[in-house]
């Protein structure tokens, strides 16, 4: 089987936590790698952002990233990407024609890619599998007061994909309900494929590892450390953690609390400085450190050094940061939204907080920091919980979804019938 994955607006090779790169990048790259290792050939089409990358990047056997030139390399905000849909689709068609390569199926990620996938589905007469990752209607329902709403144009495009894709892949049952409630999706065309984590990379730290990680980060060994990993945008909630930090220190100024916020600004209206300014306004600048985005190999150091990882998002389709932290043996305090109640086993591997009230978040973090026995028990249970989620299993589930998609409506399309019989 050969699959064309489409990830137009962000490359799976881009550093997660910077710009628009995040959990989706991790998901696309890791599922594609595991699919390739299981015998499915995968080409990921993405928009070129650097001329030095070249058109084709061989990631590993059976997996390539194809960089399509569509618009300028630099300076194109995500909000302007819809203007490049035709150019991007044309680039994919040209690559397909010039390289004499045929695909059995298209898997698009995010609504921009879905619009391209919808066009190519009809040109190539192959099934379209679509993963939204986030949905406009859901983001608007959960957005913070300071967040800009998602456009009606995006919601309409998402509705078109819900109506036209052969299969809609979601991360959790919660997303299934979102598609049904907000987009009137047919539940028979929705497949739940749970994401995974790299448990070979994200591993629990020993006391020695924790001490080494803290030394590398310049964190005192006797400090209480809470970490946030992700893009710096209101929707991800770093401001929630900063305000909760100020509240905990207001209650107890002698508390040896430190906070690390690791990530880059996301969106045209967001800068790292605004979160630094918030910390300064609340008088906690000396307690909160901001780190640039870093590769997964270096995130392990942060997870192992932390007592708690906070995930105060306003919505998450799953919560890969929460799973990575747990794989490293670090309990999680997360918002009770989206897929986070699946990623975090409440009371066993972490704590779920209703809403984003500053006092409630301060209470949750404070209670867990003060309860060493519970926190250490959760650390042990978190590793076992994360072990149940693997990218290999996610890829196997996807391969089964692909096989099922190839069998749909084959009687109405001779080319599809030939492909299904050949596979």
Cβ pair 67, 87 in contact under 8 A: no
**Token output for 261:** 């916020």
Q: Hey, which bits of 143-218 come out as E strands?
A: 167-170, 190-192
Asked whether residue 206 is marked as a ligand-binding residue, the answer is: no
DSSP assignment of 255-272: --EEEEEE--B-STT--H
231 belongs to an annotated ligand binding site: yes
DSSP H helices, 204-265, are 207-217, 238-251
> How far is residue 287 CA from its own chain's centroid?
28
110 is in an annotated binding site: yes
Residue with tokens 């699919």: 35
User: How far is C-alpha 392 from the chain's CA centre?
Assistant: 17
User: Is 9 annotated to bind ligand?
Assistant: yes
Say if residue 380 carries a ligand binding annotation: no
Q: Please check if 303 is assigned to a binding site.
A: yes
Cβ–Cβ under 8 Å, residues 409 and 126: no
Is 22 known as a binding-site position?
A: yes
Is 78 labelled a binding residue?
Answer: yes
134 marked among binding-site residues? yes
Q: Is 412 marked as binding a ligand?
A: no
Q: Annotation-wise, does 20 bind a ligand?
A: yes
Is 323 annotated as a binding-site member?
no
Q: Tell me if 415 is assigned to a ligand binding site.
A: no
User: Binding site annotation covers 292?
Assistant: no
Distance between CA atoms of 80 and 193, rounded to whole angstroms?
31
d(CA 300, CA 263): 14
**304 assigned ligand-binding residue:** yes
10 is annotated as contributing to ligand binding = no
**CA–CA separation, 261 vs 187, rounded Å?**
39
* Long-range Cβ pairs for the range 143-148 (8 Å, 24+): 143/234, 143/235, 143/314, 144/234, 144/235, 144/237, 144/314, 144/356, 146/234, 147/234, 147/235, 147/314, 148/269
Tell me if 23 is assigned to a ligand binding site. yes
Flag whether 306 is marked binding.
yes
Sequence ranges of the binding site for UDP-N-acetyl-alpha-D-glucosamine = 15-16, 23, 231, 236, 294, 316, 324
Sequence ranges of the binding site for 1D-myo-inositol 3-phosphate = 9, 20-25, 78, 110, 134, 154
Sequence ranges of the binding site for Mg(2+) = 303-304, 306, 330
Sequence ranges of the binding site = 9, 15-16, 20-25, 78, 110, 134, 154, 231, 236, 294, 303-304, 306, 316, 324, 330
């Amino acid at each position: 089987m050969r699959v064309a994955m489409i990830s137009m607006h962000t490359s799976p090779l881009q550093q997660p936590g910077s710009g628009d790169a995040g959990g989706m990048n991790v998901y696309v790259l890791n599922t594609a790698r595991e699919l390739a290792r299981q015998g499915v050939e995968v080409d990921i089409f993405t928009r070129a952002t650097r001329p030095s990358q070249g058109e084709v990047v061989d990631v590993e056997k059976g997996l390539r990233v194809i960089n399509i030139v569509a618009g300028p390399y630099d300076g194109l905000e995500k909000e302007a990407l819809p203007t490049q849909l035709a150019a991007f689709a044309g680039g994919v068609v040209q690559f397909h024609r010039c390289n004499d390569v045929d695909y059995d199926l298209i898997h698009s990620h995010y609504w921009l890619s879905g619009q391209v996938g919808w066009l190519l589905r009809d040109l190539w007469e192959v099934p379209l599998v679509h993963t939204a990752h986030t949905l406009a209607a859901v983001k608007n329902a959960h957005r913070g007061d300071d967040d800009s709403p998602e456009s009606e144009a995006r919601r309409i495009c998402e509705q078109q994909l819900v109506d036209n894709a052969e299969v809609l892949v979601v991360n959790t049952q919660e997303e299934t309900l979102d598609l049904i409630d907000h987009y009137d999706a047919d539940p028979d065309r929705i497949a739940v494929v749970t994401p995974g984590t790299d448990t070979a990379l994200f591993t629990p730290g020993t006391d020695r590892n924790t001490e080494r990680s803290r030394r590398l980060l310049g964190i005192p060994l006797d400090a209480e450390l809470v970490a946030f990993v992700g893009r710096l945008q209101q929707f991800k909630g770093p401001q929630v953690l900063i305000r909760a930090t100020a509240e905990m220190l207001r209650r107890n100024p002698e508390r040896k609390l430190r906070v690390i916020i690791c990530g880059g600004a996301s969106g045209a209206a967001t800068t790292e400085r605004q979160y630094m300014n918030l910390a300064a306004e609340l008088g906690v600048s000396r307690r909160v450190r901001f780190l640039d985005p870093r590769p997964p190999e270096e995130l392990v150091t942060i997870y192992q050094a932390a007592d708690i990882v906070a995930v105060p998002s306003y919505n998450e389709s799953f919560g890969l940061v929460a799973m990575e932290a747990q794989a490293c043996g670090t309990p999680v305090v997360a918002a009770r939204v989206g897929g986070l109640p699946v990623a975090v086993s409440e009371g066993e591997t972490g704590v779920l907080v209703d809403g984003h009230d500053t006092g409630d978040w301060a209470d949750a973090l404070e209670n867990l920091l003060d309860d060493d026995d519970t926190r250490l028990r959760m650390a042990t249970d978190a590793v076992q919980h994360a072990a149940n989620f693997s990218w290999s299993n996610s890829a196997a589930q996807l391969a089964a979804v692909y096989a099922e998609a190839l069998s749909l409506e084959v009687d109405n399309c001779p080319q599809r019938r030939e492909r299904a019989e050949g596979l």
